[in-house]
Amino acid sequence: MSEKYIVSAECAIRDKDKYLVIKRPIGKHAAGKLSFPGGGCEKVDGEQDDCLQRTVIREVYEEVGLKLIDPLSYICSNMFYD
């Protein structure tokens, strides 16, 4: 049996003592809930080691219009079943 999974990434963006939080769009997973900007890896993000970083850079720009330029720090990785 083959398991299906989605690779996704979220980004905590901090400015001084504040964090950027978004409200998840209606019709999407966890609609109406608060979260950090992020989303699923796409083929355009590639299968290289930097897939998560490329995903975060793309998703943050798509969702909130910010271009990330500072080095990104890896915080944690986790898995859940939906």
pLDDT tens, residue by residue, 27-43 = 988 899 999 998 888 77
Residue-range definition of the domain harbouring residue 12: 8-64
Residue 54 is assigned to a structural domain of this protein: yes
55: its two tokens: 């995903």
pLDDT > 70: what percent of the chain?
Answer: 80
Asked if residues 7 and 51 have their Cβ atoms less than 8 Å apart, the reply is yes
Residue 18 is assigned to a structural domain of this protein: yes
Residue 29 is assigned to a structural domain of this protein: yes
Residue 30 is assigned to a structural domain of this protein: yes
Residue 69 is assigned to a structural domain of this protein: no
Residue 81 is assigned to a structural domain of this protein: no
pLDDT above 70 for 48: no
Domains in the chain: how many in total? 1
Number of neighbours of residue 54 by Cβ within 10 angstroms: 16
Residue 3 is assigned to a structural domain of this protein: no
Question: Sorting pLDDT into bands at 50, 70 and 90, what band is 9?
Answer: confident
Residue 26 is assigned to a structural domain of this protein: yes
Distances (CA, A) of 11 to 1, 4, 41, 75: 33, 24, 13, 9
